[in-house]
Amino acid sequence: MIEMLMQYLPYLLILLVLAVPLGGYISRVMDGEHVFLSRFLKPCERLIYKLLRIDETQTMDWKQYLISVILFSLFGFVLLFLLLMLQGVLLGNPEGFSGLPWDLSFNTAASFVTNTNWQAYSGESQLSYLSQALGLTVQNFVSAGTGLAVLYALIRGFLKTNANSLGNFWIDLTRSILYILMPLSLVLSLLLVSQGVIQNLKPGAAVSLVEPVAVSEDGTILTDIEIVNGEVFAKGQKVDAQIVTEQFVPMGPAASQIAIKQLGTNGGGYMGTNSAHPLENPTYLSNLAEVIAILLIPAALCFSFGQSIKDKRQGRAIFIAMLSMLLVAWAVIAVNEQAATPQLAQNGIVDISSINQAGGNMEGKESRFGIAGSSTWAAFTTAASNGSVNSMHDSYTPLGGMMTMLQMQLGEVIFGGVGCGLYGMLAFAILAVFIAGLMVGRTPEYLGKKIEPYEMKWAVLACLATPISILVGSGIAAGLPSIMDSLTNGGAHGFSELLYAYSSAGGNNGSAFAGFAANTVFLNVSLGLVMLFARFLPIISILAIAGSLAKKKKIAVTAGTLSTCSPLFVFLLVFVVLLVGALSFFPALALGPIAEYFQMIV
């Protein structure tokens, strides 16, 4: 047990050590204060404002801020959509890939503009370097920056009194990218390159294998065979098989995209197998760096929130609520993957002990990461709206796979994405104080502002956007006979594959169960619409709440005011988040992973 804990504790400790100072830095940047990078980046910032004709003194009300967010996202969507469809006739395409079909282009554009990064394609075999760098990597930066900007608009709503201004979207976006995302990405990119992650503009190349392998007609690599004089023998008998002596190795600007995909909680892999690929994630150190990067900014923003509102206790309370839920999910995944399933252990056919080996359920996991590195990644990536994977979630145990789904279904508020995770949790906090106010017969207050029916209506919409999009989308899809062609498995596990896909899209996560073939016209369009709905309805709601709060005056704290930084409030907040998730998704989970679990133990 102690040995197991020692494998997991470093992730948590490193995250805490880095998140606290980064949170203070982000707060100073977004509040327009001087930071150590100002000397170098302030001239660049002023140049950007000059070129784009942005007036630093101009502020926006919530409707102007929202219009700016929508128009900017729409422009990025159209540009990426056209780039993907036309990549076959554009430069930066040494492999000569053709353009993507319209439905796949729509799905991919919606995916990256919404910070979801769901992938129904394989990057190294379908996308040009221009599409990867100019299209996807750019959206990785600006979609994360947009989430951070909306968060700080909400924070200003709490801070301001009798005002209409929420700041300036273009200034918030510029600062978030220039001072936060780009410097962190540069550092992480250099670290990844040092570990062997590729970063070049060379075309892919064929390389000779150390030993030739034999492959059957269906592409399966044969084992326990001998290759003699160009012929294949199994137990002395000649068999028909193709002898393969070369392997194609993809190249390209991967490290720069991988860094921001993790830091920006994007998750879209340069390679089709994402961070399980040895050229994306070659060593245990690169795995440690990438998995910490997934939660680094979302965790740091809790402390930024506390510093910006001049009450660090509030930020710590939100952080503890998020961390508590993460630790439970993380523990459930780790324990179930280490214990494996009765089917793996039956009759001693598979040794699942942890003596001198990884033990447990290693199906679908890379041996260089083991169960600890894989389970931690699965917990972190589905807690954040990241979605990158270093193992196949389709091969997890029923309860281990269920926890990855449930974290997404809760609205990606267990840290969640850059900005969007925290403003989603703040919507739940508003809901929690409203419920508490009704219980004691007082007008609910949060951070010195009255929470009235107007804010509650928008908060409910923000909290229910994810459940609505997931349940409606998966419900319609489950009723279509053609969906069966996309499933690798039938029964409860097959339903889990379908539910996971829509949970990933509706949670703006982007990870896949890896057993669901989603590249059809219906799935590309329906999943794309789910992503857009689940991203922009909460943004509209949060900015409407921010605009209303900014106009209100501060309320003095009295003896009857509910403390929103106490253990009681943390418990209430966690309870409300879980209540919404349990009520919304328990019936669906009962048909999928829960049913599969009971089938295994019977």
Q: Could you give the C-alpha distances from 178 to 263, 313, 451, in angstroms and in order?
A: 14, 29, 35
Mean pLDDT value across residues 187-212: 88
Q: What's the pLDDT score for residue 236?
A: 75
* Domain segments of the chain as ranges: 18-200+253-304, 205-249
The predicted-structure confidence for 449-502, as pLDDT tens digits, reads as follows 888 889 999 999 999 999 999 999 999 998 888 888 888 888 888 888 899 999
- Are 560 and 358 within 8 A, CB to CB? no
Q: What's the pLDDT score for residue 599?
A: 84
Q: What's the pLDDT score for residue 345?
A: 63
Alpha-helical regions (H) of 195-311 = 254-263, 284-308
Q: Who wins on pLDDT, 242 or 462? A: 462
The predicted-structure confidence for 364-382, as pLDDT tens digits, reads as follows 888 888 888 899 999 999 9
Burial of 21: CB neighbours in 10 Å, binned 0-12, 13-18, 19+: exposed
User: What letter would DSSP give residue 180?
Assistant: I
Q: What's the pLDDT score for residue 1?
A: 58
Could you tell me the pTM of the whole model?
0.91
- The answer on pLDDT for 399 being more than 80 is yes
Mean pLDDT value across residues 116-136: 85
Tokens of 582: 């349990």
End-to-end CA distance of the chain: 28
The band of 510, judged by pLDDT with boundaries at 50, 70 and 90, is confident
Burial of 507: CB neighbours in 10 Å, binned 0-12, 13-18, 19+: buried
- Among 35, 51, 65, which Cα is nearest to 547's? 65
Mean pLDDT value across residues 304-322: 94
Q: What are phi and psi of 389, to 5 degrees?
A: -135, 150
Tell me the sheet residues that pair with 260: none
The three state secondary structure string of 60-112 is: CCHHHHHHHHHHHHHHHHHHHHHHHHHHHHCCCCCCCCCCCCHHHHHHHHHHH
Tokens of 244: 């393969």
Percent helix, strand, coil in the chain, to 5, is 65, 5, 30
The predicted-structure confidence for 247-300, as pLDDT tens digits, reads as follows 888 888 889 989 999 999 888 878 878 888 889 999 989 999 999 999 999 999
Least confident of 132-136, 309-313, 597-601: 597-601
Mean pLDDT value across residues 579-593: 88
Mean pLDDT value across residues 85-105: 90
